[in-house]
Structure 1
Amino acid sequence: MTVFTGGSAYLMLKDIADGFIIPSELTFKQFRAGDFALFSQEADKLLREIRSNQPPITDVDATQKRQRRMQRVQTAMMLARNVQTRRG
């Protein structure tokens, strides 16, 4: 059984980026060391994907959406690191 909402780390991160999942410390309660590593790896991959899709400079809405997606993923990464650090 997987600890990732949606079945895989990548799908979970896509849902977080799109705002369907709001991560908290409880989101990472079931995670083990390997799960944190996979989550971090997939988060880096998704951030690269988001950064590579640059909207036109004049499209303010698309730029804001892109920034919000990156911020959500970075926040999830920060939460995961904090939970992992606290566990030791």
Structure 2
Amino acid sequence: LISHIAFDMKPLTRSERAKKARKEDYLSKYSGIARDVLEALIDKYQDEGRFDFEDVQLLELNPFNKFGNPMKITKSFGGKNNYIRAIKELEKNIYA
């Protein structure tokens, strides 16, 4: 919104932001369940808009529950701290 007002730039849609986030090289750092979870988060953002990416309870909901329970999912990132770091990086890429 600020870029639109200050610099007369067209605001990005959720789909454009999701597409841009998928193109970022940081996704290549992850594989298996971790990458699948990040891609599902991008899909969820694209479909539903803003939500609390860092809320671990989100992992209990569909489609994340198909990857296992929240503990298994965070382990696929190397632990909860690494999961939160990956989520913050994802959020940064979506809103950059």
> What band does the TM-score fall into relative to the shorter chain?
0.3 to 0.5
TM-score scaled to structure 1, two decimals?
Answer: 0.32
TM-score scaled to structure 2, two decimals?
Answer: 0.30
Higher relative CO (CA 8 A, sep ≥ 6), structure 1 or 2?
Answer: 1
